[in-house]
Each structure stands twice: as structure tokens, then as C-alpha cells.
Structure 1
Amino acid sequence: MELFTIDTILPAASGILFITQAIYHLGLYNKLYIHNKETVYTTDVNTENPPLSVIIVAKDAADELQENLPFILEQDYPEFEVIVIYDRSADDCDDTLKLLEDKYPNLYHTFIPDSARYISHKKLGITMGIKASRHEWLVFTEPNCRPQSNQWLKQMARNFTPATEIVLGYSNYEKVPGWLNKKITFDTLLNSMRYLGMALSGHPYMGTGRNLAYRKTLYYKQKGFASHLNLQRGEDDLFINETAHAHNTRVETGSDSLMRIAMPKYKKIWCEEKISYAATSRLFKGTARYIMGFETCSRLLFYAAIIATIIIGILLHQWTTLGIAILLWAARFVMQLIVFRKTAKTLGERKFCALLPVFDFLQPIWNGVFKLQRKLRRKNEFMRK
């Protein structure tokens, strides 16, 4: 009797892959829920609310600024300034900002000169904002983002301890009807569970400029974006990848700290963001990208092993083998559903439920397509212009 036959190897492989997936879901993806449930801010947290500067770089965003800036300018915070640097464009950003400045004395704006060439305007704008800022703590967001509470800055600031240099916040798209919205909110939630979960595990590897804070001295110590100045993007994820470590990074995901992103007008806008991320994420230093890549591979292999085991079980009338495969898939789905539902609830997201297995299977595929599109494009498309 042969011990290593296909009807024994496949169930064994499925079991090993199930254990691997369980480690990721219970040990990493569950971190955000545990953090929100158990976090107690002790006396080492600076409760003095130090003055801070909010920096926003805008392009063709007059309507978005008019709609979202008041929610930032009206934060319940003792002392802060908001600095908007806009890329000269066809819309009336300047007029919009001047009108807002008449109402809000803590709002300041300037523009990226037309003469700026061969440099990323986003990075140049952030650099201009940092140099113009008056305070040590810098908070970053974007024109299409709206804080969900007037306590946003206070919740970010409660992490400003003497040892902290970086605070990673949570952001996701607004919830509206439609398949595309469900797709991108799931993708953003999963990616957040990854990079914020890794940060909570003591291994931060990236951040997003939609809800992010760091010290001005950290920016100058790192010489700004000098190490990736040749790239069009990377002002947030690559910068955090280079500077974040277990002892200088904190995560803020309280209900009042959440940031909502306006839905893009066209699917292509979101696709271009994903392709740009694919161009910068391959440059991440450390093991995090490989750890996340291994999760994706083990997930796809799990599905492949389960499907193959079910087929073999049916063809060979191995009902025990078939039952093992179904039981493993069901156990993983229940585990995943519990983790996602609890995390989504604390972050005000959809629970997904019936769509969870669909998106769980498709997410690695569409991200693979984005990586392929990145490879097929010319290298200079991702370089500074």
C-alpha cells in the first residue's frame, strides 16, 4: 500500500496551507480588531495636544477643497495650521483657497511654480509645505479626504509620545452603491489590515499619505525624499518604509480618527493608483513584502489544493477526502468571516459576508494584473516629470 498517493498528498497539502492561512488571519489580520478593543492609552502619552501642521498637496481639486477643507479647518484642536500647496491647474484653486482663508485664519496656501521641471510635483509640494510649516508635528492628508469627526487631530495627537516619530492612520473610500465601490473598499481594507497589522506586530513597512503624521525632524534627518527623488511617487509608502521601525511608530484606528476618501469618478483613476503602488512597492526594503507575498501565494495554493482535492474525491469516490476538503474550506471561510466582520465593524466598513469568498479569491488576481501592467509600461512613466 502506497502512503504517498495523490488522494493523500492533496488533503495533507490542503491542511498545511489551511494552517498557514490561519496563522495570517489570527496572528496578523486580527491585529486591528484586538488593537481597537484592548488599547489603553497610558500616562506616557502626551495629552497636551502639541501644535501641529496639516499639509495637503492639491491638483485640479477646487471642488474637493471647498467640500472637504472645512471639516479639517474646524477640528476641535487647540493650535494647528493647514497648509495647502496646489499645482497650478486649469481650475480655480487659488480663488477657492482665498475665499476660505477669509473665513479661516489658520489656513495658508501657496503654489508649485510653473517653472518646476523634472521633479515630482507631489514631492516638491510636500517639501514646500514642510519648509513653510511652523510646527514639529506634521499631519498629511489629501484633497479628496474627509475626516469622520472633529476629533481626528486629537486622536492622531494622542500618539505623540517622546519616542514616537510616525503615526499611521486608517483611511478607506466612502461607502456608496455599486460593485466597483465594494471591490475597492475590500481591497483597501485588506491592504490596511496588512500594513497596519504589521506595524502593530512591530514590523512597520509602509504608510499612506491620506492619514499620516510624522515629525519634521524625521523628514530632515532622512534628507526628505532624496533616496527616491527620481520616482514620480513614493512620498508616503517609500518614505515610511525607510524610516519606520518598531520603536518609533504607532498606529491610530480609533473611530474618530478615520478618514474617508471620495470615490474616484472613473475606474481608471483607481487602476492608475494601483499600478503606481505596484511600481513603488517592489522597492520596499525588509522582509515585509515577501511575508505579504507568501500570504498571497499560500491563499491561491490553498484554493488550488481544495479544488483539486474535491475533484479527486469525486472522481475516485473518496468521500472522506472530499469531506476533508469541504471541511477545511468551510473552516477557513468561518475564520476569515469572523476576523473580517469584527475588524470591519470597528472601522465602520461593510461586513462583505457573501462577497468575502469572491473578493478573497479575485483580489490576488486583479493585483497580479496591475503588476503585469506595470511591467508592460515604459520605465520612464514612473519617473519624475
Structure 2
Amino acid sequence: MEAFAFDTTEQYLLAATGILLAVQALYYLALYNRIHLRSRKAGRDDLHFTQELPPLSVIICAHEEVENLRRNLPAILEQDYPQFEVIVINDGEKSESEDYLTQLENRYSNLYHSFVPDSSRYISRKKLAVTLGIRAARYDWLVLTEANCCPQSNQWLRLMARNFTSRTEVVLGYSGYERGRNWLHRRAAFDNLFTAMRYLGFALAGSPYMGIGRNLAYRKQLFFDQKGFSAHLNLRRGDDDLFVNQVARRDNTRVETDPAAVVRMQPLLRTKDWREEKIGYASTARLYHGAQRWILGFETFSRLLFHAAWIATVVLAALHTHWLVAALGFLQFVFRFVMQALVINITAKDLDEKYRHYLLLPIFDILQPLQSLRWKLYCLFRDKREFLRK
């Protein structure tokens, strides 16, 4: 019976690991699994979509991105939707982009473009570009995306619009990466998927707190009622996540996760680009209203504690040759890994993600919060002027 004689330390470690496992299971089954549950409901027609297809305006902000426009804009212009316009606001390099957009306007009567004046200084250029596009829009429903994004199908606008009920003012969509080949691509794809499981999961739970402007819709009147971006004019970022944080509520926000409504970006070429994007969002996250940020922070904290607890259990038991204790500690890790892999990969399948996460999942699971800490430290020690309007 010595195999069942656990000392006090082993008992505490096993109990702590079990409690942390239960906490993690609650997050995965009650929050991170929401996208899959939503997909199942959509398949059963339980989500009460509208049959109306109101006219809408697609707004694209492009910063020196003529190649992205060549690659992606035709797929947006050729959407299967009865009445819509596409407004491209060009920022930065003008001549080549202007020439290309002018040529396309001769082929597509619903394409319009303008530009951000070089002398603009009173607002961040991205926010000004979005504001110019919204002011130029003829229709009440706005769908925002970016020049480096391409819809997965010609049904993108129809699927977003099926959520435009009389009570809806905000629709959150999903944006992912095209499949790449290297370590950076896998890291970025996992981080992007996991981030979406968080903010879309909260929105599906009735507590929306942010959105990303690559696949986002809201009413034009809502923008003007909130006086646009006036609450955060001093910040370079916040044209998507802070605005959604300000206006989204349980009763006015819906989520679209059909794989045909996904938009995809080209794989990242440089770590620097990904780092700057993540630092940008980290700089605005501290301004979010609501408890979601702290709830997610607790998930991260409990995750790291869980890994520390099961590893300590296995190591201590192995040193004392208590193999049953070591096996119980390792089984708790295996149980969480299986649950995590099922939720993440089923969600990835629902969103038509190209990657599946199995062998690298434990590495990403620990690396992701360490990366987030790194972005926050960047924000803390960088010159604050880098996050203010220029």
C-alpha cells in the first residue's frame, strides 16, 4: 500500500493541479468553445438570420499597398450581393495606386477612391482614412476590411449581411492568415486563432469587448452618434478595437463565423511586422472597459500555474520514486492537452483554418502568454509618443 501513501506536499500539489485543471476546463468549455457551438447552431438554423440584404458600403484603407489591391480588390468588387459600393482611401504613395484604382473604376461602377491629405496632422492617419471613407459612404451599413485581406468566397457580404437585424448595430467577423511554411507563420496563425477564440467567444457569450477592422461591420449612424473616434483621437491605434469596445453591447452585437465569410491575409514576411501589430493592440488594450481583460488575464495566470504545478508534481514524485503520484500529475496534463487540442482544432476546422495544432500545441500554449508579456513590456518602456498621433 506504499504506492497510495502520498506525503503532504504531494497531496497539496495534486490538489492544486486538479483545481487549476478545473479552472482551465471551465474556460475552454464555456468560453473558447463558443465558436464551435455557434457553428452548430448556424447549421440547424437556430440563429434567426434576416432575409433582407440592405445596400452596404465596403471601406478599405490602403497604405502604399498597390500590390495588395491588385491581389485582393477584384474579389471584393465581384461579391455576389445585390447593391454595394467599395470605397478605397489611399494613404501614402499615390501615383501607382491612383492609376490602378482609376483603371478599375472604369470597369466597376461601384468603386470609388479618395486619399488622405499629406498635410493632415490633427488625427492619426488611419483614423482619418476610416473617417473619410465613412463620410463618403452612401449607405447606412458599413463593412470594413483592409487592403491585405481577401474574402474566402463571393458570399462574404451576404453572410455578414444576414446578421443585419433591426436590433443589430455591430457584426464581428473572423480574419485569418493564408497558410505559410515557416515557424513565424505557425506562431502568428496560432496566436491569431487563439485571440479570435477569446474576443469572439466573449461576444458570443453576450459580453463583446473588442473587434478587429479586417472583418468588421457597423452602422454609419452608430459611428456618428458616438462622434467617431473622438474619445481616443490622441492615439494612433484604436480605430477598430477601442471603437468596438466603446459601442458593442449584448443586445446590439452579432458574430459571423461561417468559413465562407472569413477574410484571409498573406502570410507574414517579417517578424517585425507582426511585432508592431501586436504592440499596437497591446497599447490600446489597457483602455478597454469591462472585466473581460482581467478575466482573460486570470486564464493566462491559471494556465502558467497549472504547468508549474503538474511539472513540480511529476519531478518531486520521480525524485521520491512515487510513480503513482507522477502518473497522476502527468495524466492531469494529458487530460488538459486532449481537451485543449479538441477545442482548438475543432474551432480551426469550423473556420477553415489551414493549420492544425497538436505536437506544437504545448509549446505555443506556454509561448503565447510570454509573447503577450513581451508586447506589454515593449509598450511600457517605449517612448509614449510612438503611440500618439503623428
- TM-score w.r.t. the length of structure 1 is 0.97
The answer as to 2:353 corresponding to 1:358 is no
2:242 aligned residue: 238
For 1:203-242, list aligned pairs within 5 A.
203-242=207-246
* Amino acid of the structure 2 residue aligned with 1:359: F
Cα shift at 1:44: 5.2
Task: Report Cα offsets for 1:48-95 as digits up to 9, x if no partner.
Answer: 210000001111101111110000000000000000111132661111
Tell me the amino acid that sits aligned with residue 93 of structure 1. Answer: S
2: CA distance between counterparts of 1:328 and 1:124? 51
Does residue 370 in structure 1 map to residue 375 in structure 2? yes
Over residues 314-361 of structure 1, what are the superposed CA-to-partner deviations in whole Å (9 max), with x where a residue is unaligned? 122222321211110000001111111211111111211111111111
Counterpart contact for 1:61–1:91, Cα < 8 Å: no
Alpha-carbon deviations, 1:288-325, whole Å to 9, x = none? 00011111111001001111111111122222321211
Q: Greater shift after overlay, 26-35 or 261-270? A: 261-270
Query: What CA distance in whole angstroms lies between the structure 1 residues aligned with 2:380 and 2:45?
Result: 45
CA offsets per residue over residues 347-379 of structure 1, 9 Å max, x none?
A: 111211111111111111111111111111011
Secondary structure in 2 matching 1:92: helix
Q: What is the RMSD computed on CA atoms of the aligned residues?
A: 1.5
Counterpart position of 1:22: 25
- Contact 1:49–1:154 under 8 Å retained in 2: yes
The equivalent of 2:60 in structure 1 is 56
Q: In structure 1, what is the Cα distance between the partners aligned to 2:267 and 2:179?
A: 8
Partner Cα separation in structure 2 for residue 264 and residue 63 of structure 1: 15
Aligned CA distance change for structure 1 residues 91 and 314 (closer, same or farther; 3 Å): farther
* Bigger mean CA offset, 42-51 vs 332-341: 42-51
CA drift at 1:43: 9.1
Q: Retained in 2: the 8 A contact 1:187–1:363? A: yes
- For residues 322 and 265 of structure 2, the distance between their equivalents in structure 1, rounded to whole angstroms, comes to 50
- Return the alpha-carbon distance in structure 1 between the equivalents of residues 78 and 352 of structure 2: 22
Against the structure 1 CA distance between its residues 266 and 168, is the aligned structure 2 distance closer, same or farther, given a 3 Å change threshold? same
- 1:380 aligned residue: 385
Out of 32, 36, 50, the residue aligned to residue 33 of structure 1 is 36
Contact 1:172/1:185, CA 8 A, preserved across alignment: yes
2:266 paired residue among 262, 266, 276: 262
Aligned-partner residue type, residue 37 of structure 1 = R
- Read off the aligned partner of 1:383 and give its amino acid letter: L
Over 3 Å counting, the alpha-carbon distance change for 1:310 and 1:4 in structure 2 is: closer
Whole-angstrom distance in 2 between the partners of 1:310 and 1:90:
61
Aligned to 1:300: 304
Distance apart, 1:42 and its partner CA:
6.0
By how many angstroms is 1:193 displaced?
0.5
Where do 5+ consecutive residues of structure 2 fail to align? none
Unaligned ranges ≥5, structure 1? none
Q: Count how many residue pairs are aligned between Structure 1 and Structure 2.
A: 384
Alignment counterpart, residue 106 of structure 2, candidates 97, 102, 112:
102
Q: Is the 8 A contact 1:62 1:91 kept in 2?
A: no
Query: What is the TM-score of this pair, normalised by structure 2?
Result: 0.96
**Letter paired with 2:385:** N
